[in-house]
Structure 1
């Protein structure tokens, strides 16, 4: 029996975690969402009756602290696995697709995108970790996973030749460093934390954006076939989560369990900017 908390569970990968994990009757699964009523309605439609939902906002540390208190009551004060999935990919696709030097004339829009991306993608996971840390300390598995992105890997982006997605990539690189520093903090307590890229996943992105990303990533892997489903991604991620150890704490890994962000066999790559 294991207790799982998924922060950022309203859609996409987060919702898929709820579906996949609750299929095992021995799991206790709690989702955190800004608007839990909407998720609860979808869970009911899908016949998923064992998932509990709690209100919490990645951009509001007070709401995350309150969510942790509520979760503690629901699960008896202990959480085995904390998955921090919520992220901001960008509200302005035009800005997302521009390279740094193409952003001249878009300074204010870029500042807005950077501020929101850093708040949600870098600070949010730190807030969530601190809020739920007492529950993780009391758990058996003692594992924290922050969903990152292959777009944050400098060598990978150099190979692919992708200069776009400046704010998103920078915020994901920032959270990787936050994870690394948190790992140093928590390793003496036997708590392992991992930054995990879920692959290029078909969720809420536009068809044109996915076509662009699929073509762009051929610079990294010429035989890349395109995005994978949320189900495929979560299944792969869970294998990595199950196998990573305290010796690997603080690392940044792909859904393949290594630092290869893109696969030629249809398993995906580092997640596309703005389309988690």
Structure 2
């Protein structure tokens, strides 16, 4: 059965990924949390016997390296079939382009862009990815130029900028990884406006609907999908 690795799995979308995937007990799941001192009761409650909870702070490259080394030990020769770079932050949603805090933007880029970049880099260095691995970078409609042009007033400037950077990272990874993994497919995904803590007030989509849709997309990816941007429904998003 396949091996899934999900970053940021102790709440929100990551938690729902684990809940749905753990329904198939033979799935091996690597579920990460930024700190093992976090409240992990919900994650433990939905986990299967083949779920391994490991620590990974995706804003800290040294933590990512330690995590991938530990993952290699846990998997004992198995490779990751699905790497879901889900961890992310939207810590200053009220900022616009005229009020950006430099430290705020740097933090969001560190977690939302550099984190997924270094995670994939470290997985390659540890030879942890299957030749036909599927890599998903969790993006947002707010990372799309086309979508943002239709929103007035604009919102979540620092988050949107970081997710636009993540989209470009996805495009680069989709090409660069072909030299390492023959059948790899890398995509970014918009989960929709989901009822999670990050989604906040006004969110309209139930987590189980979003995650169910994304898993369907991931399991149905074809070679021609490499480097593309999808919604949870499978519709392609304009950059």
TM-score, normalised with respect to structure 2: 0.89
The offset of 1:177, in angstroms, is: 0.3
In structure 1, the residue corresponding to 2:71 is in which secondary structure? helix
d(CA) in 2 for partners of 1:150, 1:89: 13
In the TM superposition, residue 18 of structure 1 has moved relative to its aligned partner by 1.0
Identify if the C-alpha distance between structure 1 residues 157 and 138 changes in structure 2 by more than 3 Å, giving closer, same or farther.
closer
Return closer, same or farther for 1:159/1:136 CA change in 2, 3 Å cut-off.
Answer: farther
Structure 2 match to 1:57: 57
Question: How many residues of Structure 1 are paired with residues of Structure 2 in the alignment?
Answer: 235
Aligned to 1:266: none
The partner residue of 1:168 within 159, 165, 172 is: 159
Query: Corresponding residue for 2:80?
Result: 79
2:119 to 128, 140, 155: 128
CA spacing shift, 1:165–1:133, aligned 2, 3 Å: same
Residue deviations 1:118-148, cap 9 Å, x none?
Answer: 1111111101111122567652641111100
Aligned runs of 1:19-168 on 2, under 5 Å? 19-38=19-38, 40-46=40-46, 48-77=48-77, 78-90=79-91, 92=92, 96-101=93-98, 103=99, 110-134=101-125, 138-139=129-130, 141-168=132-159
Q: Which runs of 5+ in 2 are unaligned?
A: none
- Aligned-pair distance for 1:25? 1.5
1:197 aligns with 2:218: no
Q: CA RMSD in A?
A: 2.2
Judged with a 3 Å threshold, the aligned counterparts in structure 2 of structure 1 residues 24 and 151 are, in CA distance, closer, same or farther, namely: same
Alignment partners' CA distance in 1, 2:218 and 2:36: 25
Shift of 1:182: 1.1
More helix by share: 1
TM-score (structure 1 length as normaliser): 0.78
Shift of 1:39: 5.5
